[in-house]
Structure formats: structure tokens, C-alpha cells
Amino acid sequence: MLAEEPLPPDLLAIAREVLLKDLLPALPPDKAFAARMVANAMAIAARSSEEGDAEARLAALASDARSLATDIRAGRFDPGTPQHGEAAALLDDITRARCLVSAPRALG
Amino acid sequence: MDEPRRARLTAWLRAATGEPKLEIERMALLSGGAIQQNWAVDLSDGRAWVLRTDNAATLAVSHGRAQEFALLRAAFAAGVTVPEPLYLCEDATVTGAPFFVMRRVAGTAAAHRVVKSDTLGGSREACVRALGRELARIHTVRPPREDLAFLGTAPDDPCRAFIAEQRAALDRQRLPRPVLEWGLRHLERTAPAPVTAVLVHNDFRTGNIMLDESGVTAVLDWEFACWSDPHADLGWLCAKCWRFGNDAQEAGGIGPRAALYEGYGAVDDARVRWWELAAHIRWASIAVDQAERHISGVERNLELALTGHMVPGLEWEILRMVEARDAG
């Protein structure tokens, strides 16, 4: 069964617009911060995450994220080691995908 | 604060000051941090005080009110611009939690206003020069100090001690954090030589420093102070994550780095840069812990929930810093 449109991201976008354009100007100043936080939360929720091929690439380096973390701590992916570039690229890609949802502006 | 508490507070203050006629004319909750409550206390004779007490969301790593009072006294004696600490009450039955009273100081600390202003603190340059001088005064406090015994023994190698503490913090967290490990491993590979530890404020950043048009009026929020590398404070202030969007002004989004260094005196820039990366890692780890309070249900709160979504952006910055430092 296909989901009824408008889909959740569109609903959140229009609801956010109402919040910022109609409600926020009418709120007392001490409630503005809370309203902006709600708008921010809705923006994050509206951006969906794409897994990509991170799982497969992680599997080539370590059994899971925890062992990747342990191996990094032990120096197994230091500059000069064979898999340094692969590990750096995987962390970049995973983090970029996480930023696209949580903090797109951080990507510059 | 309800009437019975206020009455008990008045009685306690009368005993502490030795002034049987002392009257509280007005009490109002000031905008405070997530950890403490600050109350404005106006006395009938015109004296203006602040009462500082604990909030529900107290982080385990922060010092209690008695310790913060001792830190304020040490800083005040060292010539740091802090509100003069007056009286400490460790008896939780008076107002519901331990508290202390200090003189009230005028000014603005709100970070987003501070970084937009060209005149707060005198001027951007004058302000960060003054901040450098404040840090230099803080760092004249050296271990061992009996009054600051709660800070524990000073580490022989503050940089490596920082790495060990951060790894222990990651080990306590629910999820692995490969990017924070990546940053910590870089810090370990590039750790500078051991340095003699001094008193470090450990949260000296825009938002925790009160300013008016003439200069610094108060260095606030001492609850994370520790014995460490003095460059840790300079790095925390200069870290990009604490510039509140005003990235061009490298000292806290307020003014130029060079003026901060001038105000401070002798600065090892390479050490500061090391601590700037350390600052991003520490803040990311704190943000994870704050979000976890919401996720676990300990404290359901939108601000804590959103703080968790700052972590990916901090991780991105950590990756970029490590990449640039490894290339350089």
C-alpha cells in the first residue's frame, strides 16, 4: 500500500512554515527560543537519511562500528598503514551522510 | 522560591551576615545554565546579590556548589574578575539544595549578542586582550592547594591525561564513536611534551564571560575547573565550535587571536591548536551525554535532544582538522 500524500517530509515542511511565519511572530519573546527549537527539530526530522554502501565498506575494515573504534584507538589505521585512506574515506562519507540529516550547514 | 523557603533563607542569611534586620526585598530567577539556577536577590538596603544553586539536570562531572565557591574565592584572590563570593550554605534543608551567595555583577554574557557586538568589552581587540589577561591570572593558581584539594592530584602530563579521560568517557557511552576515536588517536600521535599543570577554568568561552561596554565584568561558570595545561583554556576559547557563527574572529567569535595572545603573554601556538582539536572532541562527547539524558528518559527535553544533533557537525570538523594537521 502506498502512503497517502503529502508525505511526512512535506507535512513537516508546511507545518514548520506555519510555526515560523504565523505562530512565532505572535508568541511572547520568552517563548521564541522554544519555537525555534521546535522548528529546528522539525527540519531535522524532515531530512531522511540514506544508508548508501557504508555497511559493506565498514565490513571490509572491521566486523562492526565498535571494533572499528577499537582498532582506530590501537593505531591500526594510522597514517602510513595500508588501510588508512580507506578508513579516512569511510569516516568522511558516514559523517557527511549524518550531517546531511543533523547539521547540513556544517558541511560548508 | 516559595514563602517557607524564602523565610528560611532570610533567617540563614541573617545568621551568616550577623545582621538581624536583613530583609530580602525581591527574588527573581535569572536566565541561567542548564545545570544551575541563578536567583537575583535584592536586599532592602539596596545590596544586589546572586544566589546560585543546583538545577535538576546536574552533570556528574561538574563540581558542587561548595567546590565552586572555593574556586571563586581562589580566583578572586588571584585577581581574576569574578563576582565576589560571599556566603556558602551546604545545608540542603534551607532552600532544597546547597547554595552560595555572591555579589551581583552587571553585564551581558549571551553568546549570540556578544559575537555580534563591536562595542561590548570596549572593542573587539580590547575585549580579547582583556580575556587573555584574565586567563593569565587564572593560570597563576598552581597546585598543590589545600583549599582546592577536591580537584585531586595534578597530572604529570595534562595532554595524555586528557586523552585517557576522554577515552574513559567514550567507554562509558552506549554507542561507539569512531570519529572521536580518530581525533583522539591523532591527539595521541601528536601530543606535545608534558607541561606543568595549573588551574584551568575549563569552560572559558563566549557565553560564560560577562561583559559591558567598558570590559570584562565577570568570568562565570567555574564548575568544570581542573589542573591541566594552561593552553587548554586558550584552545577552548579559540575552538571554531565556540565562535557562535562568527568564524573570522578566532578568539571566541569576539576578536582576533593575536590580541588574545598579546593579552595573555607567552603562548605556544602549536599547543593551543592541539587543544582546539581536543575542544571539539570534548564538546562532542558532552553533547552525546546530554542527548543521552533525553534518550534514556532521565530528562525528556527538546534542547538536550537537539544537542545530540550537533554531534555530526562536530565530527565533520574533527575529521577536517585531523586531515589538515596530518597534511601539514
| Biggest alpha carbon–alpha carbon distance for chain A | 59
Is there a domain that residue B110 lies in? no
Strands of the sheet containing B99-103, edge to edge, are B24-30, B36-43, B48-54, B99-103, B85-89
Say whether residue A75 is in contact with chain B using an 8 A CB cutoff: yes
Closest CA to B55 of B324, B307, B276, B301: B301
The per-residue pLDDT of chain B, averaged, comes to 94
* Identity of the residue in A41, A77, A87 whose CB atom sits nearest the CB atom of B306: A41
Look at A24-28, A29-33, B59-63, B307-311 and tell me which has the smallest mean pLDDT: B59-63
Partner-chain contact A75 B185, CB within 8 Å:
yes
Question: What pLDDT score was predicted for residue B56?
Answer: 52
- The tally of CA atoms less than 13 A away on the side-chain side of residue B282 is 23
Evaluate if residue B61 carries a pLDDT over 60.
no
Q: What is the mean pLDDT of residues A46-64?
A: 84
Q: What is the per-residue pLDDT for B59?
A: 46
Q: Chain B: nearest CA to A43, how far in angstroms?
A: 11
B-chain residues within 8 Å CB-CB of A72?
178, 181-182, 185
Handedness of CA B50, B136, B230, B144 (dihedral sign): negative
The predicted pLDDT at position B36 comes to 75
Select from A44, A73, A99 the Cβ nearest to the Cβ of B185: A73
Residue range of the domain that includes B65: 3-103
Size of interface A-B (CB pairs under 8 A): 79
Partners of A79 on chain B (C-beta within 8 Å) are 326
Read off the CATH number of the domain in which B26 is found.
3.30.200.20
pLDDT tens digits along B164-210: 999 999 999 999 999 999 999 999 999 999 999 999 999 999 999 99
B19 in a structural domain: yes
DSSP A9-76: HHHHHHHHHHIIIIIGGGS-GGGHHHHHHHHHHHHHHHSPP--TTHHHHHHHH-SSHHHHHHHHHTTT
Q: What is the ipTM of this complex?
A: 0.94
Confidence class for position B140, pLDDT limits 50, 70, 90:
very high
**Residue A73 sits at the chain B interface (C-beta within 8 Å):** yes
Place of cell 568561552: B205
* Owner of C-alpha cell 571490509: A60
Number of compact structural domains in chain B? 1
pLDDT confidence of residue A50? 67
- C-alpha cell belonging to residue B280: 571539539
Give domain status of residue B303, yes or no. no
Q: How many CA atoms lie within 13 A of B27 on its CB side?
A: 18
Instruction: Kindly determine whether residue B185 and residue A65, on different chains, have CB atoms separated by under 8 Å.
Output: no
C-beta of residue B253 within 8 angstroms of C-beta of residue B245 = yes
Tell me the sheet residues that pair with B227.
Answer: B199
Residue B75 pLDDT > 60, yes or no?
yes
Please, are residues B233 and B135 in contact by the beta-carbon 8 Å criterion? yes
Task: Name which of B172, B302, B315, B326 to mutate to probe chain A: the one with the most chain A Cβ atoms within 10 A of its Cβ.
Answer: B315
